[in-house]
């Protein structure tokens, strides 16, 4: 499937985004966080476009032809390819925050189990962990980092509404879990988004270990 680019987007710009997505996806896949073609990744290309993974591809073996251009309403631009089913959750981040440039969504075992365990609370409150400082804006383990857990649905507008409702309360949001599904997080560049994802995977794993040990 070929990708035609609008005249305003240089091929080198799009390729740089596609390569950064493929590199990140390869690393995340190697860690086992993208099983069975799940997960999706995107990068902002300009104020009105993003590059995103084409649906159904194995995330450990992505090349430039597995990444497509969309507008910030989730429509394919210059290609017949189908974007990920969850594209609306990526474009929501880009529309809401003009400085956010990378969105990562994975389905690791730790993320999936934590989402089930904390779904009834609707939120995971992380407190006392040094690694909370890996999240931009957090400077001490004494802060509280809240990660909401939203109910899963195959109807993306419902999830978009849940995320908007959280944001409309004015509470910070750096990531969210979807029950039985996985995590979304983002950053001002791919490195920041990856740092957030790695920190959250670690922190969720610690919370699960604590629950397990306290119960035994
Ligand atoms: Zn997913």
Tell me the CA–centroid distance for residue 134 and ligand 1, in Å: 24
d(CA 103, CA 116): 22
pLDDT of res. 117: 96
d(CA 150, CA 163): 8
Average pLDDT over residues 180-203: 97
Tell me the CA–centroid distance for residue 182 and ligand 1, in Å: 6
Taking alpha carbons only, the member of 44, 54, 125 closest to residue 92 is 44
Tell me the CA–centroid distance for residue 28 and ligand 1, in Å: 14
Q: Does residue 3 belong to any structural domain of this protein?
A: no
Tell me the CA–centroid distance for residue 213 and ligand 1, in Å: 29
- Does the pLDDT value for residue 107 go beyond 80? yes
Tell me the CA–centroid distance for residue 105 and ligand 1, in Å: 7
Tell me the CA–centroid distance for residue 137 and ligand 1, in Å: 26
Tell me the CA–centroid distance for residue 103 and ligand 1, in Å: 12
CATH of the domain at 52: 3.40.225.10
Of the CA atoms within 13 Å of residue 120, those in its CB half-sphere come to: 1
Average pLDDT over residues 30-45: 93
Q: Does residue 1 belong to any structural domain of this protein?
A: no
Strand blocks (E) in 93-174: 102-106, 123-127, 144-150
Q: Does residue 23 belong to any structural domain of this protein?
A: yes
Domain count, the chain: 1
Taking alpha carbons only, the member of 22, 145, 47, 136 closest to residue 99 is 47
Q: How many CB atoms lie within 10 A of CB 199?
A: 22
Tell me the CA–centroid distance for residue 38 and ligand 1, in Å: 6
Q: Does residue 30 belong to any structural domain of this protein?
A: yes
Tell how strand 182-187 and strand 102-106 pair up: antiparallel
Please tell me the pTM assigned to this model.
0.96
Taking the CA atoms of residue 55, residue 61, residue 62 and residue 63 in that order, the dihedral angle to the nearest 10 degrees is -140
Contact between 42 and 51 under an 8 Å Cβ cutoff? The reply is yes
Tell me the CA–centroid distance for residue 13 and ligand 1, in Å: 27
- Does the pLDDT value for residue 21 go beyond 90? yes
Contact between 81 and 1 under an 8 Å Cβ cutoff? The reply is yes
**Burial class of residue 52, CB neighbours in 10 A (0-12, 13-18, 19+):** buried
Tell me the CA–centroid distance for residue 64 and ligand 1, in Å: 21
- Does the pLDDT value for residue 125 go beyond 90? yes
Tokens of 128: 């006392």
Tell me the CA–centroid distance for residue 178 and ligand 1, in Å: 8
pLDDT of res. 80: 94
Q: Does residue 6 belong to any structural domain of this protein?
A: no
Structural domain boundaries, residue 91: 11-215
Tell me the CA–centroid distance for residue 139 and ligand 1, in Å: 30
> pLDDT-based confidence at 1, cuts 50/70/90?
low
Tell me the CA–centroid distance for residue 216 and ligand 1, in Å: 32
């Amino acid at each position: 499937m070929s990708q035609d680019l609008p005249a305003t987007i240089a091929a080198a710009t799009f390729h740089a985004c596609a390569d950064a997505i493929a590199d990140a996806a390869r690393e995340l896949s190697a860690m086992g966080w993208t099983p069975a073609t799940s997960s999706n990744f995107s990068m902002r290309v300009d104020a009105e476009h993003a590059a995103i993974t084409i649906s159904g591809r194995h995330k450990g073996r992505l090349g430039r032809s597995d990444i497509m251009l969309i507008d910030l309403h989730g429509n394919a631009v210059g290609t017949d390819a189908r974007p990920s089913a969850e594209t609306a959750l990526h474009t929501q981040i880009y529309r809401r925050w003009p400085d956010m440039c990378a969105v990562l969504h994975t389905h690791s075992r730790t993320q999936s189990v934590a989402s089930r365990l904390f779904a009834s609370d609707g939120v995971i409150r992380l407190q006392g962990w040094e690694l909370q400082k890996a999240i931009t804006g957090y400077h001490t383990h004494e802060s509280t980092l809240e990660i909401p857990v939203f109910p899963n649905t195959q109807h993306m507008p419902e999830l978009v509404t849940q995320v908007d409702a959280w944001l409309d309360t004015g509470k910070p949001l750096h990531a969210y879990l979807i029950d039985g599904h996985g995590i979304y997080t983002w950053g001002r560049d791919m490195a920041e988004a990856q740092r957030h994802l790695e920190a959250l995977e670690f922190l969720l794993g610690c919370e699960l270990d604590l629950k397990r040990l306290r119960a035994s």
